[in-house]
A and B are shown apart, each in its own frame.
Chain A
Amino acid sequence: MKDAAPQVMTFKVLRFDPTNDPEPRFQAYRHTPRPRDSVLEALKDIRDEQDPSLSFRYSCREAVCGSCGMTINGRVTLACRTLVESLGPGPVVVEPLPNLEIQKDLVVDMEPFWRAYRFVQPYLQPQGPPPEKGFRVEDAELEDVFRTTTCILCACCYGACPVVTRDERYLGPAALAKLYRFTSDPRDGRPFDVLKSVDTPSGVWGCDTVFRCNAVCPKDVQPGHGIEGVRRTLAAKTLQRMMGRKP
Chain B
Amino acid sequence: MLEYDLLVVGGGLAGLAAALGADPRLKTAVIAKVHPLRSHSVAAQGGINAALGNDPAGREDSWERHAFDTIKGSDYLADQDAAELLCRRAIPAMYELDYWGTPFSRFAGGTIAQRPFGGGGFPRTCYAADRTGQMLLHTLYEQAVRKNVTFLDEWLIAGLVVRDGRCPGVVAFDVANGKIIGIRARALVFATGGYGRVFRKSTNAYINLGSGIGLAYRAGLPLKDMEFVQFHPTTLNGKNILITEGARGEGGTLLNNEGRRFMEDYAPKAMELAPRDIVARAIQREVEKGNGFENEYVLLDLRHLGRDKILKRLPGIRDICLNFAGLDPVDTPIPIQPAQHYSMGGIDVDKTCASMVPGFFAAGECSCVSVHGANRLGGNSLLEAVVFGKIAGQSASRFVIDGGGCDSPEREIGEEARRLHDKVAAIRKRDRGENIFRVLNRLKTVMTEKAGIFRREKTLREGLEQIPALREASERAFIYGRCQSYCQEILMHIEFGYMLDVAEAILLGALKREETRGSHYRTDFPVRDDIDWLKHTIMTHTGQGPRFEYRPVDVTKYPPQERTY
Q: Which residues of A approach B to under 8 Å, CB–CB? A: 17-20, 36, 38, 44, 47-49, 51-55, 57-67, 81, 83, 103-105, 107, 110, 117-118, 121-124, 126, 130-139, 142, 145-146, 149-150, 152-153, 182, 185, 187-188
- Find out whether the CB atom of B206 lies under 8 angstroms from the CB atom of A61: yes
Inside 8 A of B52's CB, which chain A residues have their CB? 133
Q: Does B134 touch A at the CB level, under 8 Å?
A: yes
- Find out whether the CB atom of B488 lies under 8 angstroms from the CB atom of A55: yes
A36 to B35, CA, bound (A): 28
Instruction: Please encode chain B, from 22 to 59, with 1 for each CB lying within 8 Å of some chain A CB and 0 for all others.
Output: 00000000000011011110110000000010000000
Inside 8 A of A153's CB, which chain B residues have their CB? 37
- Find out whether the CB atom of B37 lies under 8 angstroms from the CB atom of A65: yes
Q: Does B558 touch A at the CB level, under 8 Å?
A: no
B60-68, B183-191, B283-291, B474-482 - interface stretch: B474-482
Inside 8 A of B325's CB, which chain A residues have their CB? 36
Partner of B43, one of A20, A38, A60, A142: A60
- Find out whether the CB atom of A62 lies under 8 angstroms from the CB atom of B320: yes
Partner of A139, one of B42, B105, B316: B105
Q: Does B176 touch A at the CB level, under 8 Å?
A: yes
Partner of B37, one of A66, A81, A132, A139: A66
- Find out whether the CB atom of A53 lies under 8 angstroms from the CB atom of B481: yes
Minimum distance in angstroms from B410 CB to a CB of chain A = 30
Minimum distance in angstroms from B210 CB to a CB of chain A = 15
Inside 8 A of A103's CB, which chain B residues have their CB? 176, 485-486
Within B133-157, the residues touching A (CB, 8 Å) are 133-135, 138, 142-143, 145-146
Some 27 contacts from A to B, beta carbons below 8 A apart, are A17-B485, A19-B484, A19-B485, A52-B436, A52-B437, A53-B479, A53-B489, A55-B485, A55-B486, A59-B34, A59-B39, A59-B205, A62-B324, A63-B320, A64-B316, A65-B37, A65-B43, A104-B486, A123-B145, A130-B99, A132-B95, A134-B94, A134-B95, A134-B98, A136-B109, A142-B103, A152-B42
Minimum distance in angstroms from A222 CB to a CB of chain B = 15
- Find out whether the CB atom of A124 lies under 8 angstroms from the CB atom of B43: no
- Find out whether the CB atom of A65 lies under 8 angstroms from the CB atom of B95: no
Chain A residue nearest to B91 (CB atoms) is A133
Inside 8 A of A107's CB, which chain B residues have their CB? 485-486
Minimum distance in angstroms from A117 CB to a CB of chain B = 8
Complex A-B, nearest 7 residue pairs according to Cβ-Cβ distance, in ascending order: A53-B481, A124-B101, A136-B110, A104-B486, A123-B142, A48-B437, A55-B486
Inside 8 A of A64's CB, which chain B residues have their CB? 42-43, 131, 133-134, 316
Q: Does B111 touch A at the CB level, under 8 Å?
A: yes
- Find out whether the CB atom of A59 lies under 8 angstroms from the CB atom of B207: yes
A66 to B482, CA, bound (A): 28
Minimum distance in angstroms from B10 CB to a CB of chain A = 13
Minimum distance in angstroms from B295 CB to a CB of chain A = 17
Partner of B34, one of A38, A67, A118, A150: A67
Q: Does B238 touch A at the CB level, under 8 Å?
A: yes
- Find out whether the CB atom of B138 lies under 8 angstroms from the CB atom of A118: no
- Find out whether the CB atom of B43 lies under 8 angstroms from the CB atom of A52: no
Once A36-B324, A135-B99 are accepted as A-B contacts, the answer to whether A65 and B38 lie under 8 Å apart by CB is: yes
Chain B residue nearest to A219 (CB atoms) is B319
- Find out whether the CB atom of B481 lies under 8 angstroms from the CB atom of A52: yes
Within B154-168, the residues touching A (CB, 8 Å) are none
Minimum distance in angstroms from A83 CB to a CB of chain B = 8
Partner of B103, one of A52, A63, A67, A149: A149
Within B217-242, the residues touching A (CB, 8 Å) are 238-239, 241-242
Once A52-B481, A52-B489 are accepted as A-B contacts, the answer to whether A146 and B438 lie under 8 Å apart by CB is: no
A229 to B176, CA, bound (A): 37
- Find out whether the CB atom of B101 lies under 8 angstroms from the CB atom of A123: yes
Q: A49-B438, A53-B489, A61-B206 are in contact. List 16 more A-B contacts (CB 8 A).
A: A44-B206, A48-B435, A59-B34, A59-B205, A59-B206, A65-B37, A66-B37, A103-B485, A121-B146, A122-B145, A124-B100, A133-B52, A133-B111, A134-B112, A135-B99, A139-B105
A64 to B129, CA, bound (A): 14
Minimum distance in angstroms from A166 CB to a CB of chain B = 27
- Find out whether the CB atom of A65 lies under 8 angstroms from the CB atom of B435: no
Within B418-437, the residues touching A (CB, 8 Å) are 435-437
Inside 8 A of A150's CB, which chain B residues have their CB? 131, 134
- Find out whether the CB atom of B483 lies under 8 angstroms from the CB atom of A139: no
Q: Does B559 touch A at the CB level, under 8 Å?
A: no
A83 to B95, CA, bound (A): 40
Interface of A is mostly: loop
- Find out whether the CB atom of A104 lies under 8 angstroms from the CB atom of B42: no
- Find out whether the CB atom of A138 lies under 8 angstroms from the CB atom of B110: yes
- Find out whether the CB atom of A18 lies under 8 angstroms from the CB atom of B485: yes
A135 to B241, CA, bound (A): 33
Inside 8 A of A124's CB, which chain B residues have their CB? 99-101, 142
A38 to B207, CA, bound (A): 17
Chain B residue nearest to A48 (CB atoms) is B437
- Find out whether the CB atom of B99 lies under 8 angstroms from the CB atom of A123: no
Which of A52, A137, A149 has the most chain B CB atoms inside 10 A of its CB? A52
Chain B residue nearest to A1 (CB atoms) is B326
- Find out whether the CB atom of A118 lies under 8 angstroms from the CB atom of B106: no
Instruction: Please encode chain B, from 181 to 213, with 1 for each CB lying within 8 Å of some chain A CB and 0 for all others.
Output: 000000000000000000000000111000000
Q: Does B544 touch A at the CB level, under 8 Å?
A: no
A199 to B323, CA, bound (A): 38
- Find out whether the CB atom of B326 lies under 8 angstroms from the CB atom of A65: no
Once A19-B484, A58-B206, A149-B103 are accepted as A-B contacts, the answer to whether A48 and B110 lie under 8 Å apart by CB is: no
Q: Does B441 touch A at the CB level, under 8 Å?
A: yes
Minimum distance in angstroms from B48 CB to a CB of chain A = 13
Minimum distance in angstroms from A243 CB to a CB of chain B = 30
Chain B residue nearest to A133 (CB atoms) is B95
Minimum distance in angstroms from B311 CB to a CB of chain A = 12
Partner of B106, one of A55, A59, A105, A139: A139
- Find out whether the CB atom of B110 lies under 8 angstroms from the CB atom of A135: yes
A136 to B180, CA, bound (A): 50
Inside 8 A of B529's CB, which chain A residues have their CB? none
Chain B residue nearest to A188 (CB atoms) is B101
A107 to B129, CA, bound (A): 32
Inside 8 A of B39's CB, which chain A residues have their CB? 59, 65
Q: Does B108 touch A at the CB level, under 8 Å?
A: yes
Partner of B480, one of A51, A60, A62: A51
Minimum distance in angstroms from B54 CB to a CB of chain A = 9
Minimum distance in angstroms from B479 CB to a CB of chain A = 7
A185 to B487, CA, bound (A): 42
Q: Does B530 touch A at the CB level, under 8 Å?
A: no
Minimum distance in angstroms from A53 CB to a CB of chain B = 3
Minimum distance in angstroms from B476 CB to a CB of chain A = 14
Inside 8 A of B319's CB, which chain A residues have their CB? 63
